[in-house]
Amino acid sequence: MEIVACPECDLLLRLPEPPVGGKARCPRCGDTLATNPADPLDRPLALVLAAAIVYVVANVTDLMGLSVVGRRASTTIVGGVIEMWQQGETITALIVAFCAVVAPGAYILLMLLVLLAARRPPAGPWVGELLRWAEVMQPWSMGEVMILGILVALIKIAELATVDPGIGMFAVGALVVPFTSITVTFDPREIWRRIAHGRP
Amino acid sequence: MTATLLTAARAGLVSCETCNLLVRPLDAAEPGYCPRCSGALEWRRPRSIENTWALVIAAAICYVPANVLPVLTTTALGSVDSDTIMGGVMLLYRTGSWPLALIVLVASVMVPLGKLVALTYLLLAVQRGWAGTDRERTRLYRMVEFIGRWSMLDVFVDTFTVALVQLQPLMSVKPGPGVLFFAAVVVLTMLAANAFDPRLIWDAGTRRGTHHG
pLDDT digits (tens, 9 = 90+) for A78-109: 999 999 999 999 999 999 999 999 999 999 99
Residue A121 has pLDDT above 90, yes or no: no
Say whether residue A67 is in contact with chain B using an 8 A CB cutoff: no
Report, as an integer, the average pLDDT of A150-155: 91
**pLDDT at position B54, please?**
98
Q: Profile chain B (213 residues) by mean pLDDT over runs of 10 residues.
A: 72 91 88 86 94 98 95 86 89 85 92 96 94 92 93 94 86 92 96 95 84 43
The residues, ordered by sequence, that sit 6+ positions from A119 with a Cβ below 8 Å of its Cβ are A41
User: Is residue B52 located within the same domain as residue B38?
Assistant: no
pLDDT at B171: 83
Nearest CB to B199 within list A9, A12, A195: A9
Per-residue pLDDT tens for A61-86? 999 998 887 778 889 999 999 999 99
| Contact state of A195 with B36 under an 8 Å Cβ cutoff | yes
Q: B28 and B70: one domain?
A: no
CA distance A142 to chain B (A): 7
Asked if pLDDT for residue A197 goes beyond 70, the answer is no
Write the DSSP assignment of B117-149 as a string of letters. HHHHHHHHHHHHT--S-HHHHHHHHHHHHHHGG
Whether ipTM tops 0.85, in short, is yes
Percent of chain A with pLDDT over 70: 97
Provide the shortest C-alpha distance from residue A185 to chain B (in Å). 18
Radius of gyration of chain A (CA): 21
Interface contact B113, partner A, CB < 8 A: no
- Domain count along chain B: 2
Using CA atoms, how far residue A162 sits from A58, A65, A77, in Å, is 22, 8, 20
* B109 and B69 within one domain: yes
Q: Kindly state the helix (H) or strand (E) to which residue A115 belongs, with its residue range.
A: helix A103-117
Identify whether residues B39 and B115 lie together within a single domain: no
Task: Tell me, yes or no, if B60 comes closer than 8 A to chain A by beta carbon.
Answer: no
Q: Which residue of A has its CA nearest to B21?
A: A4
Nearest beta carbon to residue A95 from set B21, B22, B183: B183
Better pLDDT: B27 or A60: A60
Domain layout of chain A by residue ranges: 1-36, 39-193
Q: Say yes or no: B164 and B96 in one domain.
A: yes
Instruction: Give the chain A residue whose CA is nearest to the CA of B90.
Output: A156
Distance CA A199, CA B191 (A): 33
**pTM, to two decimals:** 0.91
Same domain for B52 and B115, yes or no, is yes
Q: Given this model, what pLDDT does residue B62 score?
A: 96
Do B10 and B82 fall into the same domain? Answer: no
Q: Is A200 near chain B, with CB under 8 Å?
A: yes
Q: What is the pLDDT of residue B3?
A: 46
Gap from A18 CA to chain B (nearest CA, Å): 17
CATH architecture of the domain covering A39-193? Up-down Bundle (1.20)
Domain carrying residue B19: 1-43
